[in-house]
Amino acid sequence: MGLERELPKEDLGTTMDTGRSRQYTKIFAAVASYWVFSIGLVFLNKYLLSEQEHLDAPLFITWFQCVVTVALCFILSKISKAFPNSSIQFPNMYLDQKISREVLPLSIVFVGMIAFNNLCLKYVGVSFYYVGRSLTTIFNVVCSYLILGQKTSARAIGCCLLIIGGFFLGVNQEDVAGSLSVSGVVYGVLASLCVALNAIYTSRSLGAVGDSIWRLTMYNNLNAIVLFLPLMLFSGEFGQVAYFPQLFSGTFWTLMVISGIFGFMMGYVTGWQIQVTSPLTHNISGTAKAAAQTVMAVGWWQEVKPFLWWGSNFVVLIGSALYTWVKSQDMKIRYVSLASDSGSSDRRPLMKQNDDDDPKV
């Protein structure tokens, strides 16, 4: 009210329009950054992992990306400490064996997630990549019930059935087209399971690092660097790397470093998009990004897909979008119910509230 008294209506309107424009610009920048880094990382990893003239060592490529992430965490931490008034604000990074041990269960799941992710991408095309990993939502529901005891509404389960139907239709159409990779599908399913478990263990591990997502990222990737070493040894990738013809190629290492930077930036732009929009908008943006990514992949590799193949992608996308909307509605209903119950004088106040009940999560 005070602002209205001090400023003429014309100036007040101009100020409000400027504020809205800045907000819209920030939202556009966040969403665009998320799309660029996410799609770019998928295409870049596909290029590094599956081109015949490149290194056939997906675990080593993933390991190197973890090295880049840890290095960037420490570099940004030093810059932030040296220039406290700069625009770069990054938490202090330090090594603590106790914290590393506490984060280890998450790191094991994390290693499985990124390893199966890249193995899936190695054996399937980018156009099928989204459908191949579309069971993440299903595993989220199953793991939340088995581990956390959280139940899911009938409407959300209906959306899950729609996603499952789209997944199997997509697998069938890949088989009909003769491009089905059973190994790629299996890796995609395992990656989906690990993504669901990663979300649960991330929320459990944040307390060990003072609720700092960047510090958790550093410890997670640091543990992964160690965990990947025996996996690379048993898979024989050390020999693949040693005899790789382009091992000392500047182009190869440039692409490797860029892929590591893209992987690191995904953590930032994901949080940025959620911060300037909402978790619901972030999920919708991710669904739309997956659709655009599929179309881009089909055009880039000049693939010809039948109608039912496109239908499988459409079913998965619609099922995922509906699930996001249904879950947001369910959380609003539970939040209103909890708020009314806590305000009643004849009921005992709630001492603890689950993350699913918080509309900000």
Residues 169/306, Cβ–Cβ less than 8 Å: no
Residues of the chain with confidence (pLDDT) below 70: 1-19, 51-54, 87, 278-280, 339, 341-361
Instruction: Identify the pLDDT of residue 15.
Output: 60
Q: Where does residue 269 fall: left (phi above 0), alpha (psi -120 to 50 degrees), or beta otherwise?
A: alpha
Residues 199/140, Cβ–Cβ less than 8 Å: yes
- Please list the alpha-helical segments (H only) found in the chain: 2-6, 9-50, 58-82, 97-123, 126-132, 136-148, 154-177, 182-205, 213-235, 237-242, 250-276, 279-300, 307-343
Instruction: Identify the pLDDT of residue 1.
Output: 43
Instruction: Identify the pLDDT of residue 352.
Output: 42
The residue whose two tokens read 């008034």 is 85
Instruction: Identify the pLDDT of residue 73.
Output: 92
Instruction: Identify the pLDDT of residue 247.
Output: 81
Instruction: Identify the pLDDT of residue 266.
Output: 84
Instruction: Identify the pLDDT of residue 189.
Output: 93
pLDDT in tens, 223-272: 999 999 999 998 888 888 888 888 888 888 999 999 999 988 887 888 77
User: Which of these, 152, 134, 146, lies nearest to 195 by C-alpha position?
Assistant: 134
